[in-house]
Amino acid sequence: MTFNHSYEKNRISFREIYFPLSKRKKENFIKRVKSIVTEYKKKIQDKTDIDLGNIEVKSYRYFTTDALEELERRMIISGKIDESKLPFLLKYIGKPFLEFLRICREDWVDLTVIGSQGRIYVPFGFSAKTNMYWEQFGKNIHLEQKVVHELSHILWNKIRESEDSPEDLQCEKIWNEGFATYCDSKYFKDLYPPGYELMNGKRPAVYENGRKKVDSVIRERGDSALFEIPNRWTEFEKSLPALVN
């Protein structure tokens, strides 16, 4: 299957790194990400035989509203809070706080995802615009690999059988990021074009620590264990050597 990447690459001036991009340039970049998502969603589904469902690609400015929707859903499922109190807590406390965090993070965040909702968010902060600027001069911004990483988070949620929130959310995050990092750099490596250059250098600690855990499980149990991790990561966590933890 041939994909038609019919998008216009943006020309970003140095000045635009520090000022808001035009609506047209944002729409062009989102269209480009959507095209890559469509291509690699198909490839991942063909390789895994798992339907990733409908995937939306949206501006990061919508992240707060969608994250609150996901937070409300998980809190109700967990039973950790009275459902009648949620509207007040989320509207008057949660939303302003999360919106403040979103504004602070957008300058440095990369593509991000709410996996259970199948939504990928595209930021237009300082870091993203700097990458867009230097891409004009030949820098590889690894957009395909970043898309595969986010699609791997969606894959995690499709494999995961339980909707319950684990007691140790930070530990789950490490395994989830490790799963996505292993997928984008190893398991789905054959999906990239010939000669595709993967990201070099270390990623943030949560990615690297998670990848080491996944690597350890794969070495011990084989490649098939990769798709057991979303449901058995707590079991694997207890069995890993202290050095990996």
| Residue 84 pLDDT | 54
pTM of this prediction exceeds 0.75 = yes
pLDDT digits over 83-110, tens only?
555 555 555 566 777 777 778 888 888 8
Contact at 8 Å (CB) between 60 and 127?
no
State how far the Cα of 191 lies from the Cα of 193, in Å rounded to an integer: 7
| Residue 1 pLDDT | 42
| Residue 218 pLDDT | 95
Strands 112-114 vs 119-122: parallel, antiparallel or unpaired = antiparallel
Q: What is the 3-state secondary structure (H, E, C) of 184-208?
A: HHHHCHHHCCCCCCCCCCCCCHHHH
